[in-house]
Each structure stands twice: as structure tokens, then as C-alpha cells.
Chains A and B, each alone.
Chain A
Amino acid sequence: MHRINLIKILTLLLLAVTISANAQHDASKEAHGESSHKEKDIKTEIKEYIAHHLLDSYDFSLFSYTTDAGKKKYFGAPLPVILWDNGLKVFSSSKFNHGKTLAEVDGNYYKLYHNKIYKTDTEGTINYDEEHHATNVKPLDFSITKNVVFILFVAILMFFVFTRMAKSYKGNLMPKGVGRLLEPVVLYIRDDIAIPNIGKKHYRKYMSYLLTVFFFVWIINLLGLTPLGVNVTNNIAVTFALALITYLLTTFTGNKNYWKHIFWMPGVPWPMKIILAPIELLGTFIKPFSLMIRLYANITAGHIVLMSIIGLMFIFKSWIGSPLSFGLAFILALLELLVATLQAYIFTMLSALYFGMAVEEHDDH
């Protein structure tokens, strides 16, 4: 909700600037009224476009355009939809025809509504409750969506890049090619993230997770910033999966000392121990939760702001709109590059910090 508000504020602010600029241009008031009415339509369209961009989709469409005949054309490929609804149902997402038609599989009808698959009757009716939420049955959805394809793509890319890097070490001391670029990053993660936070004794077993998560988040964030890239980390499911792995690793590698600090904090009087235990226990959930929310929110917010600033270009068709929008978008894109790296770093760093807490051995406090 707040993000829509943010867009409104930004839009209004820049609208005011443009209006004053237009006034200087002696534009007639009637024309103004007309254009502002028209802008409203464009604004909702932009809003919808941004919302659409942030969502996952069942087909891999890189871009879409409207033909002169008013027909929407999509450029991309359909992806398999996998549903579990009294048995495995696999069909191509082209059956949905971008939400326009029902998909009929084995006598069941499925409808794509608000980017979710619902089971419907033959007519494709959606029933609503009083809050306008669909009440239709949602089958368990394991579809290979656009994001899944992109995750797979990044995974394969990483696998090839890093196995190549590993191979280039064979027989010589220095890596060749891309390894030379990535080695300092690997060493940075080892020397400045893992060892100071986890300690020299235990850091080895977490290294593969830390390295993978850093490069995965980094690469996927950066690719998400490219025009045709798919935004993966703004899905709460993705960040939840990453945070869950961190949580499980912390929990299952935690030593006696770690659990003692949670359930029976040493060094405080016993009534405090009883009060602290639930707080500490809650803290173990809050830590990965904040990891999840942070990554999700940063990337989402960045994309919304960036896209709405680009969208401003279509709202103001005056001389000031485009350069302003371009300049702001450029600066923000640079900032987003920083954020993409910083979030990967923060995620890795905090994961390492939590692992460090789990395997800490001294009890001097």
C-alpha cells in the first residue's frame, strides 16, 4: 500500500513541476483539463505495468506490444504448468492464452486470474467473498514459472562459471579468465565475512553456502536490473527459501552453548532467565525473517521507484519530463546497482553472523 502512496506523492510532485512549466508556456486551461484526464489513464496503465512486472508469470514473455488492430502480441515462449489436483496435471501455459481462455485438462477447468490458477467450472466463473477475494479452489501449483526458469538459468550459469574457474586452477597457481575476476570476491567472502564472523575453526563447513548465496543473490539481482531480466528476489517465496536455509543451518549446527544462551541465559538472575527464554527463542525466528523481508523489500522498492520514474516520461510529455525522468532514472539505476551488491553482501554477512552465534564456544558473558 505504501508503495502506491509513494508513487502518488512522486507523481504529484513532478506533476506540479510540469504544470508550472506548462503555465509558462501559455497552455490553455481546457487543454490542461483534457491532458490531465488522459494522464490518469496512462498512470493507471503504468501502475498496472509495474505491478505486472513485479509478479511472476506462467509464460516467458520478454515483452508485449499492441498491434495496430488493437490485438496484444506477446514475444516469448509458454512454460509448463504443473498442478497437483487429485493427480499430477501437466500442460502448457499457452492453454491459458495469457489469462484469456480456460485451460481444460482431464475434464477439469482452470482459470488464470490475477496471476493465480483457480479451479473453475466449465464457464470459468470465479466466486468472490464479501472482500472480493476469490473463493475458488486453488490447486497445489508447482508450475515452472518464469522465475523458476530464471533461477534455473542462473544456477546453470553459476555452475558453469565456477566449475570452469575451479578447473583453471589445475596445474597453475593463478586462475585464468573469469576466475581471476571472481577470485578476489571469493577471498573477500572467506577473509572478511566468514572468518571474522564464524571463526577460524568452524568457518569451512559454511563456506559453500555463503559463497553460493552471495553469488546467487548478486547475479540474480544484477540480472534483474537488465531490461529483459526477470526480477526474482522480489518474490517473497524466493527470499523465504533462502532465509529458511539460513535458519535451518543455524538451528542444526548450533552447539550446546548456543541453545544454552537461548533457553537459560547465563549470567542473569533466574527470573530474567524465564523472561529471556521466549524472547530469545522468538529472536531466532525474527533473524531469518528480517533477512527475508530485507532482501525482498529492498529489491521490490528499488524496482518500483525505478520503473515509476521511467513511467514519468510517459506522463509528462513536456520538455522537462523526459530529461528529468532520464536523469533520475540513471542515478537510481546506479544506486540500484549498489543496492543489488549491498543486499547480497548483507545477506551473506548476516547469515555468517548467525552461524557464528550458533558455533560460538567461549562463555565469558
Chain B
Amino acid sequence: MDKLIEQFSLGLFFWMLILFVILVFFLNKFAWKPILNSVNEREDGIKNALEEAENARKEMQNLNADNERILKEARAQRDTLLKEAREMKEGIISEAKNEAQAQASKIVEQAQETIQAEKQAAITDLKNQVAELSVGIAEKVVRGELADKNKQIKLVEELLKEVTIS
């Protein structure tokens, strides 16, 4: 211990203290601060880049999921569309069928009606003609058998009786 104290040199201590404090001060200003700052910046940069990559990866995943979802939706929509179209087609076809049927039956009905009307007209016409004919025949008969008036009437009546109107 004595030896240590004896060896202690105040001058060396003084210079060491001064030089070292100056060294710390200058290095702090010109070396450590810039170095540590750049290292920190670099580390932050790396961290940010990693985070960004992670984010991008997540986004990509989200995008993929989105795509999948959209695809699914589109597929579902297509299916529904197809279904609707099919239904519509069927509807149209059946409607068309119905309408056609209705039209057809209407036409048939009209035809029948026309036929009936024609028939009626024909019958009327026939009746008229028969009447005319009958009148003509009657005229002729009348002309032939004008002498006998009673006989005439009798004949006419008989004839008329024979004629049946259907």
C-alpha cells in the first residue's frame, strides 16, 4: 500500500484526467454520436423493412382471400343467374304453350262458331230456298192443279207436313 502511494504520480494523474475527459468529450461529439445514430437508424430501417415485408405478406394473404371470396361469389352469382335463366326459359315456354293452347282453342271455338253461324245461315238459306222452291213447286202444282182448290190446299198442307225442319 505504501508503495502504491509512493508510486502515485500527481502529474500523470492530472494529465490522464484532462486528456481522458477531453477524449471522451471529443469522441462523444465526433464519433460515438454519429456512429450510434447511424447504427440506430440502420436498425430502425431494417426493422421497418421487415415490418413492411410482413405487412405486405399479410396484405397479399388478404388479397388472396378476397380473390377467393370474390371468385366464390361470382360462381354463386353465375349459378343463380343460370338457374333464373332456366326458370325463365321454362316459364316462357310454358306460357307460350298455354297461350298457344288458348289461342288454338279460341281459334277452334271461333271456327266452330263460324261453322255454326254458317250452318245457321245455310239452313236459313236452305229454308228460304226450300220455301222458294216449295213456292215454285207450289206454283207449278198450283198451276197444274188450279182447278181444284180444295185439293190444292190439301196437297199443300200435306206437303208442308212432310217437310220437316231439322
Touch between A and B in complex, CB under 8 Å? yes
Query: Which among B3, B21, B39 is the interface contact of A245 at CB below 8 angstroms?
Result: B21
A151 within 8 Å of B by Cβ? Answer: yes
Report how far A216 CA is from B22 CA in the complex, Å.
13
Determine the chain A residues whose CB is within 8 A of the CB of B36 once the complex forms. Answer: 186, 190, 207
- A interface: dominant SS: helix
**Contact residues on B (Cβ < 8 Å of other chain), bracket:** 20 to 34
What distance in Å separates the Cβ of A23 from its nearest Cβ neighbour in chain B? 39
Render A180-209 as a binary contact track against B, CB cut-off 8 A, 1 for contact: 000100110010000000000000000111
What distance in Å separates the Cβ of B83 from its nearest Cβ neighbour in chain A? 61
Q: In the complex, which of the residues B12, B17, B28 has the most CB atoms of chain A within 10 Å of its own CB atom?
A: B12
Contact B11 A162 (CB under 8 A): no
A15 within 8 Å of B by Cβ? Answer: no
Q: Which chain A residues in 145-164 approach chain B with CB under 8 Å?
A: 145, 147-148, 151-152, 155, 158-159, 162-163
Render A230-261 as a binary contact track against B, CB cut-off 8 A, 1 for contact: 00000111101110110000000000000000
Contact B20 A236 (CB under 8 A): no
Contact B34 A169 (CB under 8 A): yes
Report how far A169 CA is from B33 CA in the complex, Å.
12
Contact B31 A142 (CB under 8 A): no
Query: Which among B13, B16, B30, B42 is the interface contact of A159 at CB below 8 angstroms?
Result: B30
* In the complex, residue of chain B having the shortest beta-carbon distance to the beta carbon of A133: B6
Given contacts A155-B23, A207-B36, contact A165 B31 (CB under 8 A): yes
Report how far A218 CA is from B150 CA in the complex, Å.
172
Contact A147 B12 (CB under 8 A): yes
What distance in Å separates the Cβ of A168 from its nearest Cβ neighbour in chain B? 9
* In the complex, residue of chain A having the shortest beta-carbon distance to the beta carbon of B14: A142
B19 within 8 Å of A by Cβ? Answer: yes
Report how far A239 CA is from B81 CA in the complex, Å.
90
Determine the chain A residues whose CB is within 8 A of the CB of B17 once the complex forms. Answer: 241, 244-245
Determine the chain A residues whose CB is within 8 A of the CB of B31 once the complex forms. Answer: 159, 162-163, 165-166
Given contacts A158-B23, A237-B8, A237-B16, contact A173 B45 (CB under 8 A): yes
* In the complex, residue of chain B having the shortest beta-carbon distance to the beta carbon of A212: B24
**Contact residues on A (Cβ < 8 Å of other chain), bracket:** 35 or more
Contact A148 B42 (CB under 8 A): no
Contact A235 B7 (CB under 8 A): yes
What distance in Å separates the Cβ of A4 from its nearest Cβ neighbour in chain B? 11
Report how far A190 CA is from B12 CA in the complex, Å.
30
Contact A245 B9 (CB under 8 A): no
Given contacts A152-B19, A155-B22, A162-B27, contact A141 B35 (CB under 8 A): no
Contact B4 A236 (CB under 8 A): yes
Contact A151 B32 (CB under 8 A): no
Q: Which chain A residues in 44-62 approach chain B with CB under 8 Å?
A: 55-56
A331 within 8 Å of B by Cβ? Answer: no
Given contacts A162-B27, A165-B35, A186-B35, contact A238 B19 (CB under 8 A): no
Q: In the complex, which of the residues A162, A163, A166, A244 has the most CB atoms of chain B within 10 Å of its own CB atom?
A: A166
What distance in Å separates the Cβ of B2 from its nearest Cβ neighbour in chain A? 10
Query: Which among B19, B23, B35 is the interface contact of A166 at CB below 8 angstroms?
Result: B35
Report how far A237 CA is from B34 CA in the complex, Å.
32
* In the complex, residue of chain A having the shortest beta-carbon distance to the beta carbon of B24: A212
Report how far A11 CA is from B23 CA in the complex, Å.
42
A143 within 8 Å of B by Cβ? Answer: yes
B101 within 8 Å of A by Cβ? Answer: no
Contact A187 B39 (CB under 8 A): yes
* In the complex, residue of chain B having the shortest beta-carbon distance to the beta carbon of A296: B4
A211 within 8 Å of B by Cβ? Answer: yes
Contact A236 B8 (CB under 8 A): yes
Contact B11 A142 (CB under 8 A): yes
Report how far A359 CA is from B38 CA in the complex, Å.
26
Contact A242 B20 (CB under 8 A): yes
Determine the chain A residues whose CB is within 8 A of the CB of B14 once the complex forms. Answer: 142
B10 within 8 Å of A by Cβ? Answer: yes
A140 within 8 Å of B by Cβ? Answer: yes
A265 within 8 Å of B by Cβ? Answer: no
What distance in Å separates the Cβ of A2 from its nearest Cβ neighbour in chain B? 11
A340 within 8 Å of B by Cβ? Answer: no
* In the complex, residue of chain A having the shortest beta-carbon distance to the beta carbon of B4: A236
Determine the chain B residues whose CB is within 8 A of the CB of A163 once the complex forms. Answer: 30-31
Report how far A151 CA is from B9 CA in the complex, Å.
15
Given contacts A158-B23, A159-B27, A186-B39, contact A208 B33 (CB under 8 A): yes
Report how far A165 CA is from B37 CA in the complex, Å.
13
What distance in Å separates the Cβ of A160 from its nearest Cβ neighbour in chain B? 10
Residues of A within 8 A of B (CB): 1, 55-56, 82, 140-145, 147-148, 151-152, 155, 158-159, 162-163, 165-167, 169-170, 173, 175, 179, 183, 186-187, 190, 207-209, 211-212, 216, 235-238, 240-242, 244-245
